[in-house]
């Protein structure tokens, strides 16, 4: 028996569905939210520790930060949670992402202030750099993470909330039809917000982008935004198929209403003149 979006996560829902179905809903929610939160944590730690070439053609190369590679998966997860569990659950998961960011920052800060075994300059009190004038690996990561987490906490979580709100805006506007529209319409706009914000914040607030001071600043920033968004745009378009497959299968597995349910399919049929 299918239930409405409003009921599927309420306490009363457990009374009207078999225990095994309720267990499935809990497990799938944990998997989706776990993927979202785990990817978010990995993204913030890897951040801009390395830039990789996604596509090259002659002298033209599209490069993105390694932390952006798993990024599109987070939007797929929140879109699936929005579709299957509703806006409130999706916003709760995004809010938990904020707490995760703060936890990552706290642990990395704590690891830096506690005494370790590094050599300390007796005059300045600073950690002694190696022969290549580099800090120990942890402190290199710590420096980058503080910058990227600050940028991503503002940009990423803003974009995720925008994604959830736009997803349900399109869903209500189309009365639950056109699944591809709310999937892509919400993700593409929210990822443009995120990409632009994270690049600008990373440079102007954290100063962690590899900017060449010998060249004009804004063309470089626009290039970073363009490359990052192009990668996310392609990934978002490619995830339309998996999104349809997941909604189709999971809505039946979890026994929830979906665009593929009989009621939804009937709603999409044009009414007769007599109806």
User: DSSP per residue over 144-176, as a string?
Assistant: HHHHHHHHHHHHHHHHHHHHHHHHHHHHHHTTT
For position 10, what pLDDT does the model report? 41
* 93 Cβ contact list (under 8 Å, min separation 6): 32, 33, 36, 37, 77, 78, 81
Q: Within 10 Å of residue 167's Cβ, how many Cβ atoms?
A: 25
> How many domains are there within the chain?
1
Helical (H) or strand (E) element with 35: helix 19-46
For 136-168, write each residue's pLDDT tens digit: 777 777 777 776 677 767 776 677 677 777 777
Answer yes or no: is 5 within a domain.
no
The number of residues in the chain equals: 275
Q: What is the DSSP string of 126-138?
A: PBPP-TTS---HH
Note whether residue 269 is domain-resident: no
Question: Residue 36: its pLDDT value, please?
Answer: 93
Q: What pLDDT tens digit does each residue of the chain (275 aa) get?
A: 344 444 444 434 444 668 888 999 999 999 999 999 998 888 777 776 777 777 777 666 677 778 778 877 887 898 899 889 988 898 899 889 888 888 888 888 888 888 877 777 667 667 777 655 666 777 777 777 776 677 767 776 677 677 777 777 877 777 777 777 777 777 777 778 878 887 887 778 767 677 888 889 998 899 888 888 888 788 877 888 888 899 989 998 998 876 655 444 444 444 444 43
Long-range CB contacts for residues 207-211, cutoff 8 Å, separation at least 24: 207/147, 208/47, 208/48, 208/143, 208/144, 208/147, 208/148, 208/151, 209/48, 210/48, 210/51
Domain annotation covers residue 68: yes
Q: Is residue 274 part of a domain?
A: no
Q: Are 60 and 80 in contact (CB under 8 A)?
A: no
pLDDT tens for each residue of 3-23: 444 444 443 444 466 888 899
pLDDT of residue 2: 41
Q: Is residue 275 part of a domain?
A: no
Write down the residue that tokens 């306490």 correspond to.
11
Residues near 156 by Cβ (< 8 Å), separated by ≥ 6?
40, 43, 97, 194, 198
For residue 273, is it within any domain? no
Q: How far is CA 115 from the centre of its chain?
A: 34
pLDDT of residue 23: 92
Report yes or no on 270 lying in a domain.
no
Q: What pLDDT is stored for residue 257 in this prediction?
A: 75
Q: Please indicate, yes or no, if residue 271 is contained in any of the structural domains.
A: no
**pLDDT computed for residue 210 by the predictor:** 74
pLDDT at 235: 81
Nearest to 193 by CA among 215, 225, 169: 225
Q: Residue 24: what pLDDT?
A: 93
Residue ranges making up the domain that contains 184: 13-264
Torsions phi, psi for 63 (to 5 deg): -120, 145
Give the pLDDT score at 29.
95
The pLDDT assigned to 89 comes to 92
What does the alpha-carbon distance between residue 240 and residue 228 come to, in Å, rounded to a whole number?
19
């Amino acid at each position: 028996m299918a239930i409405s979006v409003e009921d599927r996560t309420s306490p009363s829902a457990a009374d009207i569905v078999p225990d095994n179905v309720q267990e499935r809903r809990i497990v799938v929610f944990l998997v989706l939210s776990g993927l979202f939160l785990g990817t978010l944590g990995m993204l913030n730690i890897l951040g801009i520790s390395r830039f990789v070439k996604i596509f090259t053609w002659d002298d033209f190369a599209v490069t993105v930060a390694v932390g952006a590679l798993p990024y599109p998966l987070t939007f797929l997860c929140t879109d699936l949670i929005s579709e299957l569990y509703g806006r409130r659950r999706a916003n709760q998961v995004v809010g938990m992402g904020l707490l995760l960011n703060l936890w990552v920052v706290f642990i990395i800060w704590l690891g830096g202030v506690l005494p370790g075994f590094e050599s300390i300059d007796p005059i300045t009190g600073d950690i002694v750099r190696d022969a290549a004038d580099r800090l120990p690996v942890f402190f290199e990561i710590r420096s980058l993470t503080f910058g990227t987490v600050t940028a991503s906490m503002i940009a990423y979580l803003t974009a995720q909330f925008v994604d959830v709100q736009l997803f349900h805006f399109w869903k209500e506007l189309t009365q639950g039809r056109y699944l591809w529209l709310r999937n892509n319409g919400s993700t593409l706009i929210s990822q443009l917000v995120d990409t632009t914000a994270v690049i600008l914040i990373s440079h102007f607030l954290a100063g962690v982008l590899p900017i060449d001071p010998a060249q004009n600043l804004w063309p470089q920033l626009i290039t970073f935004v363009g490359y990052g968004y192009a990668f996310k745009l392609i990934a978002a378009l490619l995830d339309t198929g998996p999104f349809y497959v997941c909604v189709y299968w999971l809505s039946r597995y979890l026994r929830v209403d979906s665009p593929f349910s009989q009621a939804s399919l009937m709603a999409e049929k044009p009414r007769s003149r007599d109806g």
